[in-house]
Amino acid sequence: MWVPAGAQMGMMKGGGKGGVQQHHLKQTSSGGDTNPKGVLSTALCMLLGRSVTKEDCVYEVTEEKGKHVATLTVSALTTEKTDFEGKPAADKKSAEANAAKKALNVLSKEIKEAKAAHDVVKKEKEQAFREKKKAKLAEKKAAKEAEA
């Protein structure tokens, strides 16, 4: 940063930090989930126990009377219902989001069960990691005391 001769850093705009002022904005979550397709993808990962591929979720959009209607087919599901038709929307993107919302509503019970099971496994992994870290720290401390 170039500073004119005789100028003091403290007198400069921004307190002399020499950087761009950063504004931290909170993201508001009004209106619930803003990305139902992303939420559905995450939920399907938990239900299937693996990453979701493009072949797993196929959106077919048709246009009827100026409105777009999307049908979501999730072929990898083992539930009785694998096709979900969303409400009519003004555009293709909204129609796909509506189909994803429909799938989330229909599969809500299965998703809750899968999430609970996922949380238990995650908690166990975190606990094992903490114990391993604690043992490593104790081992390091013992080695350090042995040196002294």
Residue 21: inside a domain, yes or no? no
Give one DSSP letter per residue of 13-28, joined into a string. TTTT--S-----PPPP
More confidently predicted of 85 and 6: 85
Q: What is the pLDDT of residues 86-109, one digit of tens each?
A: 999 999 999 999 999 999 998 888
The answer to whether the CB of 96 falls within 8 A of the CB of 59 is: yes
The answer to whether the CB of 82 falls within 8 A of the CB of 66 is: no
Please tell me the total count of domains within the chain: 1
CATH code at position 87: 3.30.160.20
Q: What is the pLDDT of residues 21-48, one digit of tens each?
A: 666 555 444 455 588 999 999 988 888 8
pLDDT above 70 covers what percent of the chain?
Answer: 77
Identify residue 46 by its one-letter amino acid code: M
Residue 18: inside a domain, yes or no? no
- Assign residue 23 a region (left: φ > 0; alpha: ψ between -120 and 50; beta: otherwise): beta
pLDDT of 59 over the 60 cut: yes
Residue-range definition of the domain harbouring residue 65: 33-137
Residue 61: inside a domain, yes or no? yes
**Alpha-carbon span 91 to 93, nearest angstrom:** 6
Name the residue among 34, 84, 35 with its Cα closest to residue 60.
84
DSSP H helices, the chain, are: 36-48, 92-106, 108-147
Residue 65: inside a domain, yes or no? yes
* Average pLDDT value over all residues in the chain: 82
Residue 142: inside a domain, yes or no? no
What residues contact 100, with CB distance under 8 A and at least 6 apart?
36, 37, 39, 40, 72, 84, 86
If you average pLDDT over residues 124-132, what whole number do you get? 93
Q: What is the pTM of this model?
A: 0.61
